[in-house]
Chain A
Amino acid sequence: DTAVSQTPKYLVTQMGNDKSIKCEQNLGHDTMYWYKQDSKKFLKIMFSYNNKELIINETVPNRFSPKSPDKAHLNLHINSLELGDSAVYFCASSPGENSYNEQFFGPGTRLTVL
């Protein structure tokens, strides 16, 4: 069973379009995250949710809007896509907010904006 799954795995789209990435975890975790990995492999947190509440919004443009319909799902909607949004987006989850908790990552969604 896949612990953290993301769809789609690849997403190719034109500038200006709106797209969504879905994430689901079946680990029973309370906290979920979105990270962005740029072309140089640098990873940076974008958002985190705890029990459907937004906890972290890390200076991300408001074209990015996360939504958590329940604690097992965290989706990412991106409006008016720009070239600079091309990256790999990783969803992750963890049991709670203790600093020592392992985060479990999904396989990533490679977004290419043309």
Chain B
Amino acid sequence: GDSVTQMEGPVTLSEEAFLTINCTYTATGYPSLFWYVQYPGEGLQLLLKATKADDKGSNKGFEATYRKETTSFHLEKGSVQVSDSAVYFCALSHALPQKLVFGQGTRLTINP
């Protein structure tokens, strides 16, 4: 079955550091790929998505590129802020029926 693997956390960085959170997937066909973020005590919010190979999703300074050849969707940000502290989930979805298959989540803490 489909699966998503994220880098082990937790990840702790200083403000303005460069961030990479690795995500690889195993899936049949051509799923859509997502990064969701969960701030403390809240539900998940979509951060960015990509729906086909070589697409780049971007939002709030975060980027991820759909790499079919390496089955990866790594999340990057050039300069993190304290407000980026959260749990980040990589996920994939097929259609019909649509369901999100999540990675295990990576807790990110940014220190001032």
Contact = CB atoms under 8 A, between A and B. Distances in A.
Interface of A: 4, 31, 33, 35, 40-45, 48, 50, 55-56, 58, 90, 92, 94, 96-103, 105-108
Give the top 9 A-B pairs by smallest Cβ distance, nearest first: A105-B43, A99-B95, A100-B51, A43-B102, A99-B32, A100-B32, A105-B44, A41-B105, A55-B97
A97 B96 contact: yes
A99 B105 contact: no
Contacts of A35: 100
B73 interface: no
Contact of A107 (B32, B43, B105): B43
Nearest to A4: B43
B43 A33 contact: no
Contacts of A56: 97, 99
8 contacts: A40-B104, A41-B38, A43-B44, A44-B102, A58-B99, A97-B97, A99-B93, A106-B43
Interface in B92-112: 93-102, 104-105, 107
B104 A41 contact: yes
Nearest to B89: A43
B95 to A, nearest CB: 4
A98 B95 contact: yes
Contacts of B94: 99
The secondary structure that dominates the B interface is: strand
A108 B96 CA distance: 25
A54 B43 CA distance: 23
A99 B51 contact: yes
Nearest to A50: B97
Given A41-B104, A43-B102, A107 B42 contact: yes
Nearest to B96: A97
B49 A102 contact: yes
B31 A99 contact: yes
Contacts of B51: 99-100
A106 B43 CA distance: 6
A100 B43 contact: no
A80 B99 CA distance: 27
B44 A90 contact: yes
